[in-house]
Amino acid sequence: MLKGSIVALVTPFTKYGNIDYSELEYLVNRHCEAGTDAIVAVGTTGESTTLSHEEHIDVVSAMVELADGRISVIGGNGSNSTSEAVQLTEKMSHLGVDGFLNVTPYYNKPSLAGLVAHYKACAEASDKPQILYNVPGRTALDMTPDMIEALATIDNIVGIKEATGDVARVQELRQRCGDEFILLSGDDPTAREFMLAGGDGVISVTANVVPAKMKALVSAATSGDRSAAEQIDAELDALHQVLFIESNPIPVKWALALMGWCSANYRLPLTPPEAHSQEKIEAVLADLDLLNSQES
């Protein structure tokens, strides 16, 4: 399942900085129980940039094993080095992942020709479907509709995670790339409108905290039930906002720690949120009755 309510899952660490596989198991089980459609393993929210390649593979492998067919697992396979992205793709392809999320090469800002060559190399490394990830706020490169249309012709590229927050792109990309091309929001605050405009789902940070409510929101919005979608999203608006009060995944990990779901351990250069941010996160969770919550 590469559509619907997809969580960009955090990667739990112990206080010594190692992967906490016990907490990872707990989180995977929570999402299976809540009806989340798929998990993105080791993406931006999963702190992919501070994991070694060996850890990256190990975490994705563990998620596939823990999911045990109950929920789809999408492996993050992006890099600003094509050779590294290809290696990750090849290694994860044999782990049982259902697909890949492949971020635009960051920092080096390739041309369209470079993007096409990069994504072709990744697509040829596996027969698994791959989803483009456009997040110009982190990569310094915005994949324009022209670029996306060109990339959509590559075998195995089946959709895109659009994190620009530009809802107007939904209709344009649908016209350019066809009905089968999967359009996923990568921006929680605008995800409702993205889906009501014809998007197929969301890869969500908020879903870490309220997986069942995000599933309900996605179900309402993708079925065209504006009234229900607006009602659910209104309840979640403050949460969408506060989870980006500092760089992701700093706030969401802090929120999960307050809920008792995951320890608030980070790898440098990420650190716990500032005191004023901590207060705001706790206040929003309290308003939603989520502190030390066993509900989703």
Known catalytic residues are 133, 161
Residue 13, domain member (yes or no): yes
Task: With a cut of 60, say whether residue 33 has pLDDT above it.
Answer: yes
Mean pLDDT of the chain: 96
11 is in an annotated binding site: no
Residue 90, domain member (yes or no): yes
Which residues is 38 bridged to in the sheet?
Answer: 6, 72
Residue 290, domain member (yes or no): no
DSSP states of 221-288: HHTT-HHHHHHHHHHHHHHHHHTTSSSTTHHHHHHHHHHTSS-----TT--PPPHHHHHHHHHHHHHT
203 is in an annotated binding site: yes
Residue 38, domain member (yes or no): yes
Ramachandran angles phi, psi of 185, nearest 5°:
-75, 145
Q: How far apart are CA 1 and CA 276, in angstroms?
A: 39
Query: Tell me: the pLDDT tens digits for 200-253?
Result: 999 999 999 999 999 999 999 999 999 999 999 999 999 999 999 999 999 999
Whole-structure pTM value: 0.96
Task: With a cut of 80, say whether residue 59 has pLDDT above it.
Answer: yes
Residue 52, domain member (yes or no): yes
Q: How far apart are CA 158 and CA 248, in angstroms?
A: 26
Residue 211, domain member (yes or no): yes
Residue 166 has what DSSP assignment? -
Query: Tell me: the pLDDT tens digits for 168-210?
Result: 999 999 999 999 999 999 999 999 999 999 999 999 999 999 9
Give the CATH number of the domain where residue 71 resides: 3.20.20.70
Total domains, the chain = 1
CA angle 197, 219, 166 (to 5 degrees): 30
CA 196, chain centre distance (Å): 19
The parent domain of residue 60 ranges over 4-225
Structural Rg of the chain based on CA atoms? 18
Residue 200 has what DSSP assignment? -
Residue 233, domain member (yes or no): no
Whose tokens are 């075998």? That residue is 155
Residue 173, domain member (yes or no): yes
Task: With a cut of 50, say whether residue 296 has pLDDT above it.
Answer: no
